[in-house]
Amino acid sequence: MPLLTIAILALNPRFSYRMEIHYERVLPLFFSAIYYYIGYYLLRNLSIYPIFKVFLIASVLVIVVLLLISFRWKISAHMAGIGSITGIILAISFRMGVNPVFIIAGLFLVAGLVGSARLYLGKHNLLQIVSGYLMGLIILFVSVYYV
Burial group, residue 113, by CB count within 10 angstroms (0-12, 13-18, 19+):
exposed
Domain count across the chain: 1
Answering whether pTM is above 0.75, one says yes
Please count the helices (runs of H) and the strands (runs of E) in the chain.
Answer: 6, 0
Single out the residue of 38, 90, 45 nearest to residue 59, CA to CA. 38
Termini Cα distance of the chain: 28
HSE (CB half, 13 Å, CA atoms) of 107? 19
Q: What is the pLDDT along the chain (147 residues), one digit of tens a residue?
A: 888 988 888 888 888 777 878 778 889 999 999 999 999 998 888 888 888 889 999 999 999 999 999 999 999 999 999 999 999 999 999 999 999 999 999 999 999 999 999 999 999 999 999 999 999 999 999 999 998
H/E element holding 37? helix 26-43
Show the domain range for 137.
2-9+22-146
Burial group, residue 98, by CB count within 10 angstroms (0-12, 13-18, 19+):
exposed
Single out the residue of 83, 76, 78 nearest to residue 58, CA to CA. 83
The answer to the question of residue 37 being in a domain is: yes
Structural Rg of the chain based on CA atoms? 16
